[in-house]
């Protein structure tokens, strides 16, 4: 992960320069504003990072949004949002994944079309990487690629690995799909919501900018050596207010609002207090029961956002944006387990998000570069809101 820091900084400065170029072309005067679709640009930037870090491939999405693979993901994402009507079809597709394949509608056909593009382009990446590895082997050399795909293919071709444990090209293709979705949209959404909250709370933004500029190097980021960039990032990573702002955004608006698990056996889940249920007449009745029976095969909805917003844990201001809360957390919160800062945003346990460190590196590097150079204000002409997108649209 540390080796990726210079790459992330390179993309962050490229995004900064691209925005400056757009404003110059629009003849924006100093002190004037310019409307930027932060969500779209953040997605393009993280897409470029994943292309390089994941596959040693330059999508060049910051400079050109016509990339075939980027368009397939973006269009599939937009269609997924437009489908958020709830209803019986969405529910059926969630609990019966084959439903859309057996009885496709226009939306599922379009998603399938996008996935074919993804599979074709990603398939080419796999074959090209295999060719480079084979060429190096013929020369008696070892392919030196450090990207995720290279490491995966190297491990998969190891002579110590039994044939039955090798991953098929089809499964590697599915992994690329997962890398691209899980490694781009989640981080870009976190970046977008952080900048939005900073725009809504200018006092927080000004305070953060002051902290970030206090560690700006005396020379341009582009002139720094890789070792100097590593040293700079080590300083940035330890900035307390930047850490507080990121943690508070990830708590308040987790990029993945909820998840689903399936019980693999009959179990009993203890409850900390008696739970309530709605009776036939609509009133709430408190049960004298402090455990829940969970039969094997039960779908368990994990309310990540609800967990992060629980006023019983976080206090009455749990629904408010308050980065300073992290300097004095309630004891109930400190006692919570979790992969990251007592919140469920990156999940927990053996299925926790493996991309935590990479996401954190991207968030801190991009926010350092952008907030230190731009002032963000809320758009008065565009309504901004949240849309929950079902994960089914990205399953293979």
SS3 for the chain is: CHHHHHHHHHHHHHHHHHHHHHHHHCCCCCCCCCCCCHHHHHHHHHHHHHHHHHHCCCCCCCCCCCCHHHHHHHHHHHHHHHCCCCHHHHHHHHHCCCHHHHCCCHHHHHHHHHHHHHHHHHHHHHHHHHHHHHHHHHCCCCCCCCCHHHHHHHHHCCCCCCHHHCCCHHHHHHHHHHHHHHCCHHHHHHHHHHHHHHHHCHHHHHHHHHHHHCCCCCCCHHHCCHHHHHHHHHHHHCCHHHHHHHHHHHHHCCCCCCEEEECCCCEEEECCCCCEEECCCCCEEECCCCEEEECCCCEEEECHHHHHCCHHHHCCCCCCCCHHHHHCCCHHHHCCCCCECCECCCCCHHHCCCCHHHHHHHHHHHHHHHHCCCCCCCCCCCCCCCCCCCHHHHCC
Q: Does residue 236 belong to any structural domain of this protein?
A: yes
Q: Does residue 295 belong to any structural domain of this protein?
A: no
- Residue 353 annotated as part of some ligand binding site: yes
For residues 366 and 46, give the distance between their C-alpha atoms in angstroms, rounded to a whole number: 10
Q: Does residue 265 belong to any structural domain of this protein?
A: no
Q: Does residue 189 belong to any structural domain of this protein?
A: yes
- Least confident range from 62-66, 163-167, 330-334, 384-388: namely 384-388
Q: What contacts 122, CB < 8 A, 6 or more positions away?
A: 69, 173, 176, 177, 180
Q: Does residue 272 belong to any structural domain of this protein?
A: no
The CATH code of the domain that includes 318 is: 1.10.630.10
Confidence label for 80 from pLDDT (cuts 50, 70 and 90):
low
What value does the mean pLDDT of the chain take?
86
Residues of the chain with pLDDT > 90: what percent?
44
pLDDT at 91: 65
Domain hosting 111: range is 2-259+310-394
CA 14 vs CA 146, 168, 199, 389: distances in Å: 22, 36, 22, 29
Q: What is the mean pLDDT of residues 295-323?
A: 94
Q: Does residue 297 belong to any structural domain of this protein?
A: no
pLDDT tens sequence across 281-293: 878 777 777 888 9
Count of domains in the chain? 1
For residues 308 and 304, give the distance between their C-alpha atoms in angstroms, rounded to a whole number: 6
pLDDT at 89: 65
pLDDT at 250: 96
pLDDT at 394: 34
Q: Does residue 276 belong to any structural domain of this protein?
A: no
pLDDT tens sequence across 132-183: 888 988 888 888 887 888 888 888 888 788 888 888 888 888 777 777 777 7
Q: What is the mean pLDDT of residues 320-336?
A: 94
Task: Identify the top-confidence range among 40-44, 173-177, 201-205, 343-347.
Answer: 201-205
The pTM is what? 0.85
pLDDT tens sequence across 338-389: 788 999 999 888 888 888 898 999 999 999 999 999 999 988 888 888 776 5
For residues 122 and 116, give the distance between their C-alpha atoms in angstroms, rounded to a whole number: 10
Confidence label for 247 from pLDDT (cuts 50, 70 and 90):
very high
pLDDT tens sequence across 6-23: 999 999 999 999 999 999
Q: Does residue 208 belong to any structural domain of this protein?
A: yes
Q: What is the mean pLDDT of residues 62-67?
A: 85
Q: What is the mean pLDDT of residues 42-61?
A: 88
């Amino acid at each position: 992960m540390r080796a990726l820091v210079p790459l992330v900084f390179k993309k962050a400065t490229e995004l900064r320069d691209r925005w400056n170029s757009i404003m110059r072309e629009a003849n924006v005067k100093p002190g004037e504003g310019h409307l930027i679709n932060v969500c779209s640009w953040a997605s393009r930037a993280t897409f470029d990072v994943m292309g390089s870090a994941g596959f040693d491939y330059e999508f060049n999405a910051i400079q050109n949004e016509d990339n075939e693979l980027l368009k397939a993901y973006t269009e599939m994402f937009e269609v997924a949002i437009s489908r958020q009507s709830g209803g019986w079809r969405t529910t059926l597709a969630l609990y019966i994944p084959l439903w859309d394949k057996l009885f496709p509608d226009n939306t599922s056909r379009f998603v399938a079309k996008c996935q074919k593009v993804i599979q074709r382009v990603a398939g080419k990446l796999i074959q090209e990487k295999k060719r480079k590895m084979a060429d190096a082997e013929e020369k008696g050399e070892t392919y030196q690629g450090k990207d995720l795909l290279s490491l995966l293919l190297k491990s998969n071709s190891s002579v110590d690995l039994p044939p039955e444990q090798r991953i098929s090209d089809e499964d590697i293709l599915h992994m690329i799909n997962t890398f691209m979705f899980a490694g781009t949209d989640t981080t870009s959404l976190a970046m977008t919501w952080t900048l939005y909250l900073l725009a809504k709370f200018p006092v927080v933004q000004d305070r953060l900018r002051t902290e970030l500029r206090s560690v700006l190097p005396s020379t341009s980021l582009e002139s720094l050596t890789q070792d100097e960039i590593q040293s700079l990032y080590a300083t940035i990573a330890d900035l307390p207010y930047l850490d507080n702002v990121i943690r508070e955004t990830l708590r308040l608006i987790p990029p993945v609002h909820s998840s689903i698990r399936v019980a693999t056996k009959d179990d009993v889940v203890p409850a900390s207090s008696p739970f309530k249920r709605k009776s036939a007449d609509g009133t709430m009745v408190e049960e004298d029961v402090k455990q829940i029976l969970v039969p094997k095969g039960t779908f368990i909805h994990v309310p990540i956002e609800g967990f992060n917003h629980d006023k019983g844990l976080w206090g009455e201001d749990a629904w408010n944006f308050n980065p300073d809360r992290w300097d004095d957390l309630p004891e109930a919160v400190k006692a919570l387990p979790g992969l990251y800062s007592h919140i469920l945003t990156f999940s927990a346990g053996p299925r926790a998000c493996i991309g935590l460190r990479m996401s954190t590196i991207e968030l801190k590097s991009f926010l350092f570069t952008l907030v230190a150079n731009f002032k963000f204000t809320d758009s008065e002409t565009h309504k901004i809101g949240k849309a929950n997108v079902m994960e089914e649209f990205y399953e293979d």
